[in-house]
Structure 1
Amino acid sequence: MYRFFHRVRFLFQFHKSIPFMKDFFTTNEVKLITKILFAVLIIGYIALPFDLIPDFIMLFGIMDDATIAILLLQLMVKIAPQSLKEKHNLYQ
């Protein structure tokens, strides 16, 4: 249950994650293949018209997009180098 509330809180603070994402993709501490993989996943999910739940189903269609974004960002934080986590005060 704690994870659910943590993810909801994280969603409302998503705008604070943009500097982290910029540093994640520009640092030399993260392998190039990892950066490419995340870029493909992010761009692919945005570009492909297929959703787990179609967006025309009001609230649930948007929630699945937000959930995927949160999960990808949390995975990025999880595998980020410790120096990047400390710089952005991200601990998991």
Structure 2
Amino acid sequence: MRKIWSRIRFLFTFHKSIPFIKDFFLSREVSKSKKLLFVAVIIGYFLFPFDIIPDFLLGFGMVDDVTLLIFILQWMVKIAPEDVKDKYSF
């Protein structure tokens, strides 16, 4: 239950993650293959947006999109170098 609340709280602080994402991709400590993997996952999702919940269901349709975004960003935080994590207090 605690993990769910932290993910919901993350949604409201997403704007703070944008500088982290920039520093993640500019970091020399993150390998190019990992950066390419994240780019491929993000672009692949936008090119092939298979939804578990269709987007035409107002409110509910975006749940799977937001959930995927949260998981991708949490994965980035796990892989990020310690200095980038410390800078953004993850």
**Range class of TM-score, shorter chain:** over 0.9
Q: Which structure 2 residues correspond to residues 29-68 of structure 1 after superposition, within 5 A?
A: 29-68=29-68
Question: Counterpart of 1:10?
Answer: 10
Write out the 4+ residue segments of structure 1 that deviate beyond 3 Å after TM superposition.
Answer: none
Q: Shift in Å at residue 14 of structure 1? A: 0.5
**Alpha-carbon RMSD:** 0.9
Does residue 71 in structure 1 map to residue 71 in structure 2?
A: yes
Work out the CA distance in 1 between the residues paired with 2:49 and 2:42: 13
2:80 partner amino acid: A
| Normalised TM-score (structure 1) | 0.92
| Normalised TM-score (structure 2) | 0.94
Which consecutive residues of structure 1, in runs of 5 or more, have no partner in the other structure?
none
- Number of equivalent positions: 90
Which moves more between the two structures, 49-58 or 66-75? Answer: 49-58
Which consecutive residues of structure 2, in runs of 5 or more, have no partner in the other structure?
none
Q: Shift in Å at residue 47 of structure 1? A: 2.5
Q: Shift in Å at residue 57 of structure 1? A: 1.6
